[in-house]
Chains A and B, each alone.
Chain A
Amino acid sequence: MSETHIRPVPFRGGGFRPVAKRGVGLIVFVTLLALIEWGTRTGWISNLTLPQPSDVAMTLVDLARSGMLWTHLAPSLSRLAVGAVLGVSAGIGVGILIGLFSHVRAGLIPLVAALFPIPKIALLPLFVIWFGIDEASKYALIALGTFTPTVVATYGAVDNVDRTLIRMGQSFGLSWLSIVRKIVLPGALPGILSGMRVSIAIGIILLVAAEMLGAEFGIGAYILQAGALYDLERLFAGVVILSALGVLTSWVIGRLETRLLRWRT
């Protein structure tokens, strides 16, 4: 074989494996903002289409300085907290019962499937009649909205718990309660937590919807007012706050996952 026929074997592996790239997300974000800023300044994007990012930032700073940020944020956060805690805890409870008891499963899965696709916003007028115009109806809306996805995620997670571990528990004569507490619940935790990400995002969407109807303060009310006046800067300032809220809750759940699921690889 002559010298010219010797060459390295071509590399064909690689790719198809997500690798963490730090800062890329930030670069995309900043570039997009810079592009909009440049576009709105030069008039390439009309200021009826999009507000100038720097103006939105100034609006946010003003909002924070005047103290109105907190006035709007505090009721929103408490609504989200109360509603989501009610919905998620009830959802986890019902989901576990569905996962553990065949009768509950047979009875409730169709009901949950029927409830899940209803746009909860459509029920808001009904909730106002049932629970009144103030906080209770908002809690109820957020609770119902977070409840159904949590139920579905939880019973799915319970179903996915390794049956050999449960069989092991039985073979060692562990009590039913021990098996549920020490094997089923920890085994279902990863699925429950990832379900919570979805539930809380839905909670934020419903929070805004609830506040658009009969709330004096709250991020949703703030956005509604701005929209009615076609005040794009304030509208976008509100939207930025909501995004930040979404990122924050997702980060909190991420922290919870790293803390509670340290046993995973």
Chain B
Amino acid sequence: MELTLEKVTHRYGDMPVLQDIDLRIPTGEILCIVGPSGCGKSTLLRLIGGLERPDEGRVLQDGAPPPGCLNPLTYVFQDFALLPWRSVGGNVTLVLEDHRLDGDERAAIIDDVLARTNLSAFRNALPRQLSGGMKQRVAIARALAVNPAVMLLDEPLSALDAQTRELLMEDLVGLWARQPFTAVYVTHNLAEAVRLGHRVAVLSRRPGRLREMLEIDMPLDERGVGDARLDSVQQHLWHLMKDEAMAADQELLDV
């Protein structure tokens, strides 16, 4: 299943946040979206997944979701969005309960996703007992459980410290290597973008327009910390964004 955005424009009140965005999200690739703060990255992601309606333009899905897919467009949120009253296992079960699955199927899915995210030992723990990194792993496990056609990740690592971020990036690369998935990954962290993105879309500051689309032609599992080629890509991205970010920083927020 492929997603296409056609001339998507969105406003909050009179203020345009996104302007004429054309984007194609091909299957099996991770598309990173970067941009200065307030450029509408997260809004764009909400539009892609149908949590908001664009004022103009369309978000189209081409082709049927793969068989066994329970929720084609699935989010991973920055603040994890775990139910604090449910255990790790319970949080994953939540998204399966509305689907007709027999007990064995459900148990198999839960076992599988918990194993893939190294959470099997924490099945009965409550969210408050987990570190931020573990919470985000639970959220990723929950997203994997519905076997999404496209994963929509909204700054998934931004609430975590640098070391945990590094570990989770490796986890995500490992997950993709074992079973490639389609993802849109929104972040303001350029290092994340060059590590995880097959392509990187750069948005300008508000109103967000697509400034550049970069292709990083290097397998995910070969990208490491301090790789010279990645560093130069990151430098390039920073040059693209620096002035915009400075201007965005000095804007008066009048919302």
In the complex, what residues of B have CB within 8 A of residue A173's CB?
70-71, 98
Select the stretch in B77-85, B168-176, B220-228 that faces chain A. Answer: B77-85
Cα distance A251–B51 in the bound complex, in angstroms: 43
Cβ contact within 8 Å between A172 and B71: yes
The distance in angstroms between the C-alpha atoms of A170 and B81, with both chains bound, is 12
Identify the 10 closest CB pairs spanning chains A and B, nearest first.
A168-B81, A263-B85, A172-B95, A171-B75, A186-B85, A164-B81, A263-B84, A173-B71, A263-B126, A265-B128
CB of B161 closer than 8 Å to a CB of A: no
Say whether B146 faces chain A, with CB atoms less than 8 Å apart.
Answer: yes
Chain B proximity of A264: nearest CB distance (Å) = 7
- Could you tell me the distance between the alpha carbons of A170 and B97 in the complex, rounded to whole angstroms? 14
Considering only residues 205-227 of chain B, those with a C-beta below 8 Å from chain A are none
**A256 located at the interface, meaning its Cβ lies under 8 Å from any Cβ of chain B in the complex:** no
Interface digits, B11-54 against A, CB 8 Å rule (1 contact, 0 not)? Answer: 00000000000000000000000000000000000000101000
What's the dominant secondary structure at chain B's contact region? loop
* Least CB distance, B134 to chain A, in whole angstroms: 16
Smallest Cβ distance from B51 to chain A, in angstroms? 6
Q: Does A41 contact B (CB under 8 A)?
A: no
- A174 on interface, CB distance cutoff 8 Å: yes
Instruction: Tell whether, in the assembled complex, residue A164 and residue B77 are in contact, meaning their CB atoms are under 8 Å apart.
Output: yes
Q: Which interface residue of B70, B77, B127 has the most chain A CB atoms within 10 A? A: B77
- Inter-subunit contact B128/A167 (CB<8 Å): no
Between-chain CB contacts (< 8 Å), 11 pairs: A167-B51, A168-B77, A172-B71, A172-B142, A173-B71, A174-B98, A182-B94, A182-B97, A263-B84, A263-B86, A264-B128
User: A165 CA to B85 CA in the complex, in Å?
Assistant: 12
| B74 interface residue per 8 A CB criterion | yes
Complex alpha-carbon distance, A183 and B94, angstroms: 10
Q: How far is the CA of A175 from the CA of B99 in the complex (A)?
A: 10
| Contact between chains at B146 and A172 (CB < 8 Å) | yes
Q: A167-B51, A263-B85 are in contact. Are A172 and B74 (CB under 8 A)?
A: yes
Interface string of A159-189 (1 = CB under 8 A from B): 0000011011011111100100011001000
The answer on a CB contact under 8 Å between B75 and A264 is no
Q: For chain B residues 109-146, which have a beta carbon within 8 Å of chain A?
A: 126-128, 142, 146
User: What chain B residues lie within 8 Å of A186 (beta carbons)?
Assistant: 83, 85
Q: Are A263 and B95 in contact (CB under 8 A)?
A: no
Query: Nearest chain B CB to A177's CB is how many angstroms away?
Result: 9
B: which residues have CB within 8 A of A?
Answer: 49, 51, 70-71, 73-75, 77, 79, 81, 83-86, 94-95, 97-98, 126-128, 142, 146
Contact A171 B83 (CB under 8 A): no
Q: Say yes or no: A171-B51 contact (C-beta < 8 A), given A182-B94, A186-B85.
A: yes
Chain A residues with CB below 8 A from B73, complex form: 171
Return the contact of B83 from the options A167, A170, A183, A261 (Cβ within 8 A): A183
Contact A175 B81 (CB under 8 A): no
Residues of A within 8 A of B86 (CB): 263
A171 contacts B74, CB within 8 Å?
yes
**Cα of A186 to Cα of B86 in the assembled complex, Å:** 10
Give me 4 other A-B pairs in contact (C-beta within 8 A), A164-B81, A174-B95, A265-B128 excluded.
Answer: A164-B79, A165-B83, A261-B85, A263-B127
Give A131 to B201 CA distance when docked, in angstroms. 71
- Nearest CB on A from B80, distance (A): 9
The answer to whether B84 and A178 have CB atoms under 8 Å apart is: no
Q: When chains A and B are docked, how far (Å) is the Cα of A165 from the Cα of B70? A: 19
- Is the beta-carbon distance between B71 and A170 smaller than 8 angstroms? no
Contacts of B127 in A (CB 8 A): 263
Residue numbers in B under 8 Å from A172 (CB-CB):
71, 74, 94-95, 142, 146
Which one, A167, A171, A182, A264, contacts B84 given CB within 8 A?
A264
